Amino acid sequence: MGDYSAEDFTATWAAHDLGEVVVSAKEVHDRVLELGRQITHDYANNPPLLVCVLKGAINFMSDLMRSIELPVEVDFMAVSSYGAATKTSGVVRIVKDLDVDLLNRDVLIVEDVVDSGLTLNYLRQYLGARSPRSLEVCALLLKEGEQRVEQSLKYVGFVIPADFVVGYGLDVNERYRNLDAIYTFTGEV
Ligand code: IMP
Ligand code: MG
């Protein structure tokens, strides 16, 4: 992870399109360790299969899996939701499916952000149909007041305002994923 002493310094190539820091690199780091401890405790007898939802959850997955002190397994899915760049349509296309079997596994979906909840709702049904023993969600961010689909999220990193955000895996047009902090996006889409 990045250099926390530099958390208030925004990369010059990005500064121009970024607003305020919504979650600093240090806050992300500390919270991911807490989530890891919680998951380690809750899944002590049944190490989970972590399912990373590409691409937005890559940074989160990478840090979270290293903060869990259990023999976890990991796999990846890629989904793409149709619609305008900063709003989801709820129609989800599976771009890359899982490699492993979910039968009787304790599956933990690792997501970057839950906004309308439509993407997650779709994923839950899609993966739930493969008979996992349990299916839970660990979302780094939950947007306030945006959920059109009721979600029960076992783990949430931060509840944030409904603004569009980038950084720490989150993108706009594939950019800004490599920032260590999470910022509001103020540029043109
Ligand atoms: P939902 O289906 O509305 O919950 O949207 C979920 C997906 O939309 C997330 O997995 C992200 O990929 C994307 N998304 C939603 N809000 C943001 C944001 O603020 N920044 C970047 N991507 C977002
Ligand atoms: Mg996502």
pLDDT digits (tens, 9 = 90+) for 11-37: 888 888 999 999 999 999 999 999 999
Q: What is the pLDDT of residue 8?
A: 58
DSSP assignment of 16-30 equals TTEEEEEE-HHHHHH
Q: Which of 80, 112, 163 to probe ligand 1 with, by most ligand atoms within 8 A of CB? A: 112
| Ordered strands of the 18-23 beta sheet | 18-23, 182-185, 165-166
Give the pLDDT band of residue 81 (cuts 50, 70, 90). confident
Ligand 1, CB within 6 Å, residue ranges: 56, 81, 88, 111-120, 164-166, 170
Say which ligand is closest to the CA of 153.
1
Number of domains in the chain: 1
Indicate which residue of 63, 106, 115, 180 is catalytic.
115
SS3 of residue 92 by DSSP: strand
- Is 115 known to be catalytic? yes
Q: What is the pLDDT of residue 60?
A: 98
CATH number at residue 125: 3.40.50.2020
Q: Nearest residue CA, atom 20 of ligand 1?
A: 165
Is the residue at 89 inside a domain? Answer: yes
Q: Look up tokens 């760049």; give the residue.
A: 85
Give the torsion through C-alpha atoms of 38, 31, 113, 6, to 10 deg: -160
Is the residue at 122 inside a domain? Answer: yes
Residue 83 has pLDDT above 60, yes or no: no
Give residue 60's domain range.
Answer: 26-164
Distance between CA atoms of residues 81 and 39, nearest Å: 28
Asked whether the beta carbons of 176 and 56 are under 8 A apart, the reply is no
